[in-house]
Amino acid sequence: MKNKTQNIILIVLIFILIGGPLVLSHGEFGGSDDQGTQQITKNDPGYKVWAKPLWTPPSGEIETLLFTLQGSLGTGIITYIFGYQRGKNKQKKQAETAAKTSAKKQTA
């Protein structure tokens, strides 16, 4: 498969993955914390929370900011690892190509 065709297919798949839930979902938006709390309340109405957070953000905006920073940092680390591995593989291929070239020169 050509590189251009592969890129077009990947872009279409990305749009489907992003747009699909937006178009098909008619449910209410809620986070996993809310869903977990609802399940616990449904299964055990008398449940008492036994753990408390060490620090509670002063507002929802600060909580959202921290969540976003955490996601951004994680994304940065993951992309760094991918880039590092790609660079390592590229360097390894260049070394192999150079070794083959020098071996051909020595035999000629």
Q: What DSSP line would sit under 52-71, residue for residue?
A: --S---SSHHHHHHHHHHHH
Q: Is residue 32 part of a domain?
A: no
Number of domains in the chain: 1
Q: Is residue 38 part of a domain?
A: no
* Cα torsion 19, 24, 27, 31: sign: negative
Tokens of 32: 């996993």
Residue 10: give the domain boundaries. Answer: 3-25+53-107
Q: Is residue 102 part of a domain?
A: yes
Burial per residue of 2-39, b for 16 or more beta-carbon CB atoms within 10 angstroms, e otherwise: eeeeeeeeeeeeeeeeeeeeeeeeeeeeeeeeeeeeee
Q: Is residue 99 part of a domain?
A: yes
Q: How far is CA 3 from the centre of its chain?
A: 23
Tokens of 17: 């993955």
pLDDT (tens place) for every residue of the chain, 108 residues total:
788 999 999 999 999 999 888 888 776 777 788 888 899 999 999 998 899 989 999 999 999 999 999 999 999 999 999 999 999 999 999 999 988 888 777 776
Q: Is residue 43 part of a domain?
A: no
Tokens of 10: 């990947």
State pTM to two decimals.
0.55
